[in-house]
Each structure stands twice: as C-alpha cells, then as structure tokens.
Amino acid sequence: MHVAIFMGSPRYNGNTSTMVSILSTALITKGAECKSFYLYTHRIEPCLDCRLCKYDDMECSQLDDMTLLYKHIEWADVIIIGTPIYWFGPSAQTKLLIDRFRPYFANKKLYGKRAALLLPAGSGVEDSDITIEQFKRFFKALGVEYIDAVALKAYEEGDVKDDAKQHDRIRDLVEKIMEEEVA
C-alpha cells in the first residue's frame, strides 16, 4: 500500500507533525510505504481558474511544486491530509493544495483511491466539523473514498505528543486504513 501524507502546518514539530509521525510509523510497521510532504516547503500557487485542466491532457497548466506533488498523489493508494484548524477551516497552504486538485475532477485519476484526515484543533472535533464536511464533499466529488478523520484537542505545541490516549485514536485510524488492504 502506498500512502502520501500532506502536512499543512507551518510548524515542523507541532501537533500535526506528531500526528503524522505516529500514523506513518504505525503504517510502515504494517507494511505500507509512506511519503510525507510539508506543504509549507513547497511553492503552490493559487488556482487561476484558467480551466485548461478540463481539456486535452487534463492537467494543470501551472509549473510550480504541484507538478511534483501530483506525481505522489497519483502514486498513492491512500491520501492523508493533516492540517491544523484555523478559524474552523484548513490552513491556507492546505487550501492551496485542495484547490489545485481541480484537474482530478475532469480526468478522474483519483477514482478508487482512499483518504483520511488528521486534524489538531483547539477544541478538537468541535472546531473540526466544518472542515471534515468540506473534505467529505471534496473526496466524494473526486471519486475518493473517505475513510475517517482523527480530530484531536490540541492547541499548544506538544499537546498531542504528551497525551498517550490520543495516540490510540491515531492507531485506530491506521487499522481502518489497513482494513482495505487485508480485505
């Protein structure tokens, strides 16, 4: 199983990163191949609504770091998006990534893939419900099966690292991800 993980936090050692580390370590232990990407280290331009992705080769016309990320999105069987919740939504860098998935609406290359979310938020799931719903609709429009989200109460850097009970919720997500592989 190939897993591409996109981290939309500006903090390298923050709660999103900790959640991704726990998840990827458990997935690798179970035989998955994981590749992780810090979105803040990639130049992702906003979608220009040029609509060229709807014609000919059905690919984005912009030449930025999404060119690399597209390859890994297509490589993956499972896509994980981790983002802190800012004002009830994903981080700006994560939103740039989402908007640039537009070619996949037309070319259907993501049909049959699966996806999950890692969402640290000040109040946990209470702050994440709008984002979860947004991603559910996003995945459905792209033909991607939504697996689940882990939304953890985490505000201060280190909140996830210091709470072993929260690690169990992430490992439960790993089991859901791997279920399809076994089936």
Q: Which residue segments constitute the domains of the chain, with CATH numbers given?
A: 2-177 (3.40.50.360)
- Which pLDDT score, from 0 to 100, does residue 25 have? 94
- Which pLDDT score, from 0 to 100, does residue 180 have? 67
- Which pLDDT score, from 0 to 100, does residue 13 have? 87
Residue 6 DSSP SS3: strand
pTM: 0.92
b/e 77-96 (16+ beta carbons within 10 angstroms → b): bbbbbbbbbbeeebbebbbb
Low-confidence ranges of the chain (pLDDT < 70): 180-183
Report residue 84: phi and psi, to 5°. Answer: -70, 155
H or E element, residue 79? strand 78-82
- Which pLDDT score, from 0 to 100, does residue 106 have? 86
As a whole number of Å, the end-to-end CA separation of the chain is: 13
Report residue 145: phi and psi, to 5°. Answer: -75, 125
Distances 132 to 53, 55, 129, 137, 170 between C-alpha atoms, Å: 26, 30, 5, 9, 16
- Which pLDDT score, from 0 to 100, does residue 181 have? 55
